Amino acid sequence: MAATASTDPFGILVGKVNADLERERKAASFNVQELTQFIDGGVERTKRRKELENLLYNEPVFRNIDRLMMERDQTYEQAVLKSVKLFDWSRKYNWSEEDFELACRLANHDLAMTLHHAMFVPAIERLASDEQKAKWLPKALRYEWIGTYAQTELGHGTNIMELETTATFDPTRDEFVMNSPTITAMKWWPGALGKSSNMAIVLAQLILDGDHCGLQPFLVPLRSLDDHTPLPGITVGDIGPKMALNSIDNGFLIMKNVRIPRENMFMKNAEVTREGQLMMRGVDKANYATMILVRVKIVHWAYEGLSDGATTVIRYSAVRRQSSLKPGEKEEQVLNYQSQQYKILPALASAYAFLMAYHCLHRHYSRVYAQLMDGNTSHLAELHCQTSAIKAYTSDVTVRLLEICRQSCGGHGYLLSGGIGLLCSSALPLVTVEGENSVLYQQTARYLMKQVAKAVVGEKTSEAVAYLHIKDSGPDPGNMLRSAADCLNLDTLVHLYRHMACSVVTGAARQLQIAMEQGAEQHVAWNNNMVSLIRAAKVHSQLYVVEAFVAEIRQLSKTASVSLVSVLTSLCQFYTLHSIVENAGNFLATQTITPDELEVIRKAELQVMAAVRHDAVPLVDAFDLHDVSLHSALGCYDGNVYERLYALAQKSTLNKSQVHPAYYKHLRGLIKEGQNQGRQSKL
């Protein structure tokens, strides 16, 4: 593992590993490498990752610690350089999609033009006719075109049906005329739209002979392929600085009578003929699957964020000593305070839980996608429900827990050199992108309500809501937990979780039903019960993650060493018990557990937390995050925290001169005036 620290982004040859960290590592109860290989997806993937790390981190631009201090323009410029490097390598070495994604991750997604591969190219593959594809794809893959996908507008995000951008067919010239008719119609937010892209796929309202004919995608050239200047009628630019992710030039786009040939409408799903007739070919479900895949990927980003945050705060908590447990004794490792463990170990457990949930969700996606390719859409709604729920839930929790990790670094967590601040700010968009979470929970709730309705009348329900039938099968809850040992039985805990979920979800359905029976219109009833519907969707999501964690460990236990299964089981027990304690209100209100049982659960939670604490450092080491990628003075592998904080402080732009220019401009006058007054008062 020591190789992790080989390429020091701080340029400080500290070398010696902190003694506390060394001790923590020696005490590991399991083989860290075995876990790393499981996380990577096998020995080969670990090897490949190390190869790519070598390639990337030998380039100064990827290693650059100064990025924490950089101004916006530099940040963007360095990110363009990094993107160009990755594009170049990808073209040169013919990288697989998996390799490209891994490289983006190793670059912390701190790139300018990720949408080109993530959205532009896939959208051409999905939306273009074969003829269009043959013409356009090579240009995109050779990077003659740098493209983005322009959907959201200044006034329109969630409800895309109300997008205002228009594409009016002009039969006299066989062209579409693109317009942004109002200020709220300007395209707003697309990544790489502001300065980088020369092409965009623009979603617009198709207008044929004065009639609005629905949304269609159009290929719109933005900038000259020769000198990158914006084309006539195009007003394009950056939307301004953000809380983080300032490497990306999220942009605005205003079009004024921009003419494109008719052939630039994507023609796979619909076609406009030379005569201006719209020919629909039916909506392509594969299209829908792509949106779902992005949500699945966000679950992995949530895992990535939490693994970064947990690594930083756990290593720092092992290194940092503050106050003593027993008066008069040596200062204690912060990691040994129960309060600190209770704040940070849930992030560690959630990182593993979300990785397991990602594995399950991705397999589910692959199954349904294969069915889709065979024309079978019967499981699409279920997949949509699950991905909406798990994207929303994991991103919500990640943002919340990362902030707790940051706070648990104390004051230094606020310094950018600590790394974890930028990590928190960078994770924030996960809750609003690709479906705002409250909206996603409602989509899940809609599915759940339909399933409850089916269950009530005895119709078959989907796998996703098997727990709705739990009361027909397993034992009733109530006094199942008499001792801490009972609480470590994962089957029991899952059983209780299902009971609770069943009660909450059916309870929400009942309330909705009552509201309508009392005469409320459906949409009014829905709005008046949104809070409990969202609660139902959250509970559904929590159960999914718990079940996924348990199932993955069961699967792993067939091949992995006993010690690895044991430590992951402890993590899973802790995760589940902690979830129950955090949701005690739901468990008690549904009478799934009694107040006495809650006490037993709380004791068991703290017992198993002690086991997790024992392996906390090895468990974050297993993520095997390179110091360059972690980018944190607090979380570095060798634990030389204070040397790095000081080294980075010296790079502050305010330290360029001993006396800052602000002194000469503003401060000197104030002080000199005071000195004058002082002299006069003595006269």
Taking the complex as a whole, the smallest distance from the CB of residue 476 to a copy of itself amounts, in Å, to 16
- Structure tokens of 299? 């679950």
Q: Indicate which single residue of 50, 195, 259, 454 sits in contact with a copy of itself (rule: CB under 8 A).
A: 195
Neighbours of 48 (CB within 10 A): 17
438 binds a copy of itself (CB under 8 A): yes
Residue 142 makes CB contacts below 8 A (sequence gap 6+) with 91
432 binds a copy of itself (CB under 8 A): yes
**What secondary structure, in 3-state letters, does 578-602 show?**
HHHHHCHHHHHHCCCCCHHHHHHHH
343 binds a copy of itself (CB under 8 A): yes
479 binds a copy of itself (CB under 8 A): no
List binders of a copy of itself among 480-519 (CB under 8 A).
Answer: none
Question: Which residue is associated with the tokens 């397991």?
Answer: 356
Q: Which is closer to a copy of itself, CB of 320 or CB of 384?
A: 320
On whether 165 is known to bind a ligand per the annotation, the reply is no
683 binds a copy of itself (CB under 8 A): no
Q: Which residues pair with 265 in a beta bridge?
A: 218
Size of interface with a copy of itself, in residues (CB under 8 A): 146
Neighbours of 120 (CB within 10 A): 24
**Rounded Cα distance, 440 and 446, in Å:** 10
* Annotated catalytic residue within 434, 547, 597, 605: 434
List binders of a copy of itself among 647-666 (CB under 8 A).
Answer: 648-655, 658-663, 665-666
Length of the chain: 683
134 binds a copy of itself (CB under 8 A): no
**Rounded Cα distance, 489 and 600, in Å:** 13
Neighbours of 311 (CB within 10 A): 31
Q: What angle do CA 441, 446, 452 make, to 5 degrees?
A: 120
Q: Indicate which single residue of 95, 189, 288, 369 sits in contact with a copy of itself (rule: CB under 8 A).
A: 189
Q: Nearest-CA neighbor of 255 among 285, 282, 280, 220?
A: 220
Residue range at the interface with a copy of itself (CB under 8 A); choices 408-416, 486-494, 565-573, 613-621: 408-416
Q: Indicate which single residue of 58, 323, 376, 555 sits in contact with a copy of itself (rule: CB under 8 A).
A: 323
**Region for residue 210 given its phi and psi (left: phi exceeds 0; alpha: psi -120 to 50; beta: otherwise):** left
Taking the complex as a whole, the smallest distance from the CB of residue 558 to a copy of itself amounts, in Å, to 36
335 binds a copy of itself (CB under 8 A): no
Taking the complex as a whole, the smallest distance from the CB of residue 577 to a copy of itself amounts, in Å, to 12
410 binds a copy of itself (CB under 8 A): yes
Residue 210 makes CB contacts below 8 A (sequence gap 6+) with none
Q: Is 434 part of the annotated catalytic residue set?
A: yes
- Identify the three-state secondary structure at position 337: coil
Q: Indicate which single residue of 387, 461, 506, 590 sits in contact with a copy of itself (rule: CB under 8 A).
A: 590
331 binds a copy of itself (CB under 8 A): yes
**Region for residue 62 given its phi and psi (left: phi exceeds 0; alpha: psi -120 to 50; beta: otherwise):** alpha
Neighbours of 326 (CB within 10 A): 7
Q: Build a one-symbol-per-residue string for 44-83: x at contacts with a copy of itself by CB under 8 A, - elsewhere.
A: ------------------------xx-xxx--xx--xx--
Q: Which is closer to a copy of itself, CB of 344 or CB of 360?
A: 344
309 binds a copy of itself (CB under 8 A): no
On whether 569 is known to bind a ligand per the annotation, the reply is no
Q: Which residues are catalytic?
A: 434
The binding site for FAD comprises: 152, 191
